[in-house]
Amino acid sequence: MSDDTTNVKASLIQSVLDRKFSKANTEFANLMRDKAYAAIDDFKNAYNYVSIQKAEKEADKQPEKKEVEKKKEAEKKEK
């Protein structure tokens, strides 16, 4: 019986320690996630980003210019 009680006590102690470590691991994971997000935000705030839409707008303007040029050439040919 002393072996059984010793095993029970050991298993109880082990389960308590496992729970504490599990909780500590969870808290550590949350802490590291928060630090990673904070670092990413700091990195984003340190730089000015160029909008991709601006480049797309310029690309859209070029076909319009080409169309205007084509119309002018067509008018010249008609004259």
Number of domains in the chain: 2
Shared-domain flag, residues 70 and 43: no
Range of the domain at 6: 1-48
Shared-domain flag, residues 37 and 11: yes
Shared-domain flag, residues 61 and 35: no
The pTM for the full model equals 0.43
Shared-domain flag, residues 37 and 64: no
Summarize pLDDT for 12-49 with one digit per residue, the tens: 888 888 888 888 888 889 999 999 999 999 988 888 76
Shared-domain flag, residues 44 and 76: no
Judge whether residue 79 has pLDDT over 70.
no
Q: What is the 3-state secondary structure (H, E, C) of the chain?
A: CHHHHHHHHHHHHHHHHHHHHHHHHHHHHHHHHHHHHHHHHHHHHHCCCCCHHHHHHHHHHHHHHHHHHHHHHHHHHHC
Shared-domain flag, residues 5 and 37: yes
